[in-house]
Structure 1
Amino acid sequence: MRLGADSIFVELAGEAFELRPSLRACMRLVRRHQLNGLLSAVQDFNFTVIADVFGEAGIKPSLLQREIAATGLGVVRNRLTGPLSEFALAVAGIDPYDAKPAPATPGESLSPSEMHTRLFEIATGWLGWTPEEAWNATPAEIIASKNGRTDLITDILKAVFGSSDQAAQAVPQYTEALLDQIERDGRDPAFDRAGLRALKGKERAL
């Protein structure tokens, strides 16, 4: 999912309310309704499940009931199906407006519930966030933060040890000609003799 994508809003009683797919909301809704049940409820406009979605997003479900009574079920359904569908897809970690497909993840595939658990572990373990910070973040925010930290550590390791290409270039290529030379001279030119002498000097000083 894109980081910083437009927030999902619904209009009720003349006001705009944000449907935020926090990790807490995602995990609770999937646990109670399963992802397929959540998607079906949005398409069928199941009042009970949609009211539950609103409740997890901090929106009073009674506002939905009042809106239906005031403007009619058909009007409310037409207005809310779009943002509710976006929310349900966000729970599954899908951005319908992202033309670039997500890269395939090697290894065993995870169910939505397992994915949310893994994201919580990443946020509280790998990133060092508090549980409350992890619960309030969206899956996209956790994934982007994890990727950023991984890139930072990779850059530090490259700065200290060099890139894998540089390391490969530092290792001599033992061709037949070089092996013949080592056999004639009785020594390997790649061996760090200065480092060995320094190490022995430190041992004598102890």
Structure 2
Amino acid sequence: MRIAAPDILLELDGRTFSLRPSLGAAIRLAYRYDSFTHVMKGVAEGRIGVIANVIAETSARPLSEVRAALAPPLNRCLFPAIEACVAVITALTDLGGNDGESGNTGTPMSFTDAYQHLFEVACGAIGWTADAALSATPAQIIIAYKGRVELLKAIFGSAEDEAPKAPHFERDEEGFAALRAMSLSGANGGA
């Protein structure tokens, strides 16, 4: 989990798209596809509609512009688009649940619920505006929350058994590994 991961740059048909894995993009994609498993599967299969939606949501560019950029011969643009989508989906779903940190003892939840919880934390516990929360990456919100908890502990003190427990986010590591392998091997048919 990186606090300031750079935007993912994608060059398509002479246009540069800067993909930012923001909470707002994550929420919209999670609601549109019901789960990131469907998003991953669509990207791995080279489905242009899913790829275009991921790019449009994370680049804040109109879907029509993304579709136009994906229109040239697919053998030139599909593989870079899939690669960028894999990177942005990985960043959107990196919620710190599988990094070996202690403290992930909360209840497992869906990504839709996790993103709603992150929005609540950003606007409630941290005190950010809704726009700031939706523009931040999930990793930035999680790290800011940890900092806020540390600040409150320093000010008010805290017994270890009273420390708030972070929710536990489960990511389909097997699915991500398969998606990465497919995109790197060109098994999607577009490479």
Band of TM-score, shorter chain: 0.7 to 0.9
1:106, CA displacement in angstroms?
Answer: 0.2
Q: Secondary structure at the match of 1:69?
A: coil
5+ long unaligned stretches in structure 2: 161-191
Partner in structure 2 of residue 2 of structure 1? 2
User: Cα distance 1:9–1:110, how it changes in 2: closer, same or farther (>3 A)?
Assistant: same
Task: Give the structure with the larger helix fraction.
Answer: 1
> TM-score under structure 1 normalisation?
0.67
Contact 1:10 1:17 in 2 (8 A): yes
Q: How many matched pairs?
A: 156
User: Cα distance 1:55–1:145, how it changes in 2: closer, same or farther (>3 A)?
Assistant: same
| 2: CA distance, partners of 1:13 / 1:94 | 33
Partner in structure 2 of residue 66 of structure 1? 68
Q: Secondary structure at the match of 2:71?
A: helix
Structure 2 residue 28 is matched with structure 1 residue 20 = no
| 1: CA distance, partners of 2:44 / 2:74 | 14
Q: Secondary structure at the match of 1:4?
A: coil
Partner in structure 2 of residue 178 of structure 1? none
| 1: CA distance, partners of 2:110 / 2:100 | 16
Contact 2:15 2:69 in 1 (8 A): no
Higher mean displacement: 48-57 or 116-125: 48-57
| 2: CA distance, partners of 1:120 / 1:114 | 10
- Which structure has more relative contact order (CA 8 Å, sep 6+)? It is 2
Matches within 5 A, 1:1-206: 1-33=1-33, 34-57=35-58, 58-70=60-72, 72-93=73-94, 101-103=99-101, 105-157=104-156
| 2: CA distance, partners of 1:61 / 1:11 | 16
**Deviating 4+ runs (over 4 angstroms):** none
Query: What CA deviation, in whole Å up to 9, does each residue of 1:59-79 have, x standing for no partner?
Result: 233334333433x11221111
Between structure 1 and structure 2, the one with the greater Rg is 1
Contact 1:54 1:60 in 2 (8 A): no
1:29, CA displacement in angstroms?
Answer: 0.5
| 2: CA distance, partners of 1:102 / 1:12 | 37
C-alpha root-mean-square deviation of aligned residues, in Å?
Answer: 2.3
